[in-house]
Amino acid sequence: MRPPLLHRLSRPITAPIRRWVLGAFPRGQSGIDYDQPLGDPGWFGPHSATWRVHSEFPGMLAGGLCALMLQTLHPLALAGVYDHSNFREDLVGRLRRTTAFVAGTSYAPTGEVEALVTKVRRIHARVRGQLPDGRVYAADDPALLTWVHVTEAYGFLQGCRRYCRDVPVAVADQYYGEYKRVAEALGATEVPATEAEVDAYFARQLPQLSFDARSREVLGVLSGIRLPVPMAGLSRELFLGAGAALVPDWAAAMLERTPLQRAQARTSAHVLRAMAPLFRRALQDGLATRACTRMGVPVSVLGEWG
């Protein structure tokens, strides 16, 4: 049976996009079985807002980069990465590991999700230190876990909304209410569960945030990241710009985004919005599809808000 006409006409564009995505984020390296046991919904399932939001690759990648930018503004949260990771030498690897954790906790069967969370909790328990000003930090500090989670959830939701499809407020609230389960399992507390609560949370965090030398160094490494894909520089600028376009105005000011940088981010946002349908066609066999197959439902159910 020949593929549909639209699929055949778009293949010259979607095939390179597919190669780009699979080159940047290779599949099958996590060791997670997404196909068994049949009927296991994992922590969210096919009727969740989480499965729908997280199925949109452009929104997730841009949203993840937005989250990284926001995370550089919290000195205690940043310290764990700055002092205890090899982000300078292997930022690509770190991004891939984070991507694998988000994908696994979103779509894997229950046992796999629980194993992932247990593994990350063990890693967090070993990350402790002290800032040059004497403040101590720990990666399993509930307040820091909440900050990291909220910046990620905010980025993913806004990425979906800005680049992939409209997200009604009720669905956004459902998403925040669902996805906080992962943060709480890792040890986070007082996790905001609606858009209004997220906005209020950010407002409360402002006195603790700053843009310092460490923030600049991490953002400098991020701005020079080179994924092992064709047109690495161009694609980096596209997604970094699209990620920057998602940060709230207060964060853009703290990050010292210039008028030129903001204009470039708006251009990237327009381009990524236009490309989102092509990413969807290029990646029709991803983890969301496999999870739907495991549950015995068509992937088309993710195309509509429940």
DSSP 2: P
Q: Two tokens at 62?
A: 């841009």
When mean pLDDT is compared across 172-181, 231-240, 255-264, the lowest value belongs to: 231-240
Query: Which helix (H) or strand (E) segment is 128 a member of?
Result: strand 128-130
Quote the pLDDT of residue 92: 85
Residue 294: closest CA among 115, 107, 54, 113 = 107
- Point out the least confidently predicted range of 143-157, 214-228, 245-259: 214-228
- Only one residue has tokens 């979103």, namely 106
pLDDT-derived band at 9 (thresholds 50, 70, 90) equals: very low
Stated pTM of the model: 0.94
Bridge partner list, 129? 137
Q: 34 with 108: CB under 8 angstroms?
A: yes
Sign of the torsion angle spanned by Cα atoms 144, 74, 99, 190: positive
pLDDT above 60 (res 287) = yes
The residue length of the chain stands at 306
Give dist(CA 31, CA 180) in Å, integer: 25
Which tokens belong to 148?
């990291």
Task: Fill in the DSSP letter of residue 137.
Answer: E
**Burial, 260: exposed, middle or buried (Cβ in 10 Å; 0-12, 13-18, 19+)?**
exposed
Amino acid at 164: C
Rg (CA), the chain: 19
Instruction: Indicate the SS3 state at residue 9.
Output: helix
pLDDT at 11: 64
Residue 4 DSSP one-character state: P
What is the average per-residue pLDDT within 271-289?
A: 95
Quickly state the pLDDT bin for 88 (edges 50, 70, 90).
Answer: confident
Q: In the chain, helix, strand, coil percent, each to 5?
A: 70, 0, 30
In eight-state DSSP terms, residue 303 is G
Residue pLDDT, tens place only, 260-279: 999 999 999 999 999 999 99
Q: Average of pLDDT values for 204-220?
A: 96
Q: DSSP letters of 194-258?
A: SHHHHHHHHHHHGGG----HHHHHHHHHHHT---SSTTHHHHHHHHHHHHHTTS-HHHHHHTT--
Is 276 in a helix, a strand, or coil?
helix
130 strand-pairing partners: 136
Apex 174 CA angle, 144 and 53, nearest 5: 80
Q: Write out pLDDT tens, residues 94-106.
A: 899 999 999 999 9
| Cβ neighbours, 10 Å, residue 301 | 14
Cis bond before residue 37 (omega within 30° of 0): yes
Report how far Cα 103 is from the mean position of its chain's Cα atoms: 9
Closest to 32 measured CA to CA, from 132, 99, 78: 99
Distance CA 145, CA 165 (A): 28
